[in-house]
Amino acid sequence: MNYKEDIERVTKRDYTDTYKPDNRNIQEILLLDRIYRDKGKPWLIVAMIEGSIGYHSAKHAEMIIDALLKNEYAGGGERCMACYQCDVVKMVFLDIQKMIDIESSDPKSRSYIKIKAMIENISKLLEMDTIQAMTFSAMYPTS
């Protein structure tokens, strides 16, 4: 499914504090739900890890996705505050857009191979304790 125009609408709009459900556009949450049903939770988690170059742990990414899908409070952390002015929805959709761009790139590229391996091994990432998750984040390959 092609989400390009819908995602672009979200990522091009003015910033707003979307930590709180009252400030969200329900159409954006429905779009996230469509992507979730089409791509799956592992794909979304990896999109957030890759989009943040390892800042988000798998568990933190999962917590944000789950909160948004339930339209509950979703704290995006320092990355969201500093880079997205507390617009957690925009942050997630920019991560999704990056993931879509990587998937449409050369299947032999390092980024493509990395995200496919992470999707296949997401259960291991979700099982990491706090120290393991911090270590993974610090060692995240950014090239």
Q: How far apart are CA 3 and CA 143, in angstroms?
A: 26
Task: Mark the ranges of the chain whose per-residue pLDDT is less than 50.
Answer: none
Using alpha carbons only, what angle is made at residue 100 by residues 45 and 123, rounded to the nearest 5 degrees? 25
pLDDT at 143: 54
pLDDT at 1: 65
pLDDT at 36: 97
pTM for this entry: 0.87
Would you say how long the chain is, in residues?
Answer: 143
pLDDT at 65: 96
Q: How far apart are CA 28 and CA 6, in angstroms?
A: 8
